[in-house]
A = this chain, B = another copy of it.
Amino acid sequence: MPHNKINIQDKLSKFSEHWSPRVIAEMNDYQFKLAKVEGEFVWHDHPDTDEVFIVICGELDIEFRDGKVTLGEGEMYVIPKGVEHKPVAQTECHIMLVEPRGVINTGDVTSELTAQRDVWV
């Protein structure tokens, strides 16, 4: 079988839309996604799953109802399931997300920022 590696920067070079996660890999029933983000996202939560954010470049604030965390390059955070959060990037930031297949980026909230699922790059 072919052994194809995944190059994160190469994948990032193939899209430019903000808040529109692209799947780059699947492991069991989990997906690894890349996203370019800038500005404010919407408050939402994922009632059934934790969600991992890893910052590839730039800086990402994740606001919570009771505080905030600021992630720089090479920093990660696990959002516990059911915890409301709002990602905010003052300038463009590139992130990797890890979560189960089928998760909607805005959780239970429908927004103009709700992205199509399962879009690969």
A residues at B contact (CB < 8 Å): 1-9, 24-28, 30, 32, 49-52, 62, 64, 66-71, 74-78, 81, 98-100
Contact A7 B69, beta carbon cutoff 8 Å: no
Contact B64 A3, beta carbon cutoff 8 Å: yes
**Majority DSSP secondary structure for residues of A touching B:** strand
Contact A77 B7, beta carbon cutoff 8 Å: no
Given A27-B98, A100-B28, residue A5 in contact with residue B50 (CB < 8 A) = no
Contact B27 A52, beta carbon cutoff 8 Å: yes
Chain B contacts for A25, CB-based, 8 A: 52, 76, 78
Given A5-B71, A64-B3, residue A30 in contact with residue B30 (CB < 8 A) = yes
Contact A27 B8, beta carbon cutoff 8 Å: no
Q: Which of A68, A77, A78 has the most CB of B within 10 A?
A: A78
Chain B residue with the shortest CB-CB distance to A74: B8
Chain B residue with the shortest CB-CB distance to A69: B3
The listed residue (B66, B75, B81, B100) touching A1 by CB distance below 8 A is B66
Chain B contacts for A6, CB-based, 8 A: 75-78
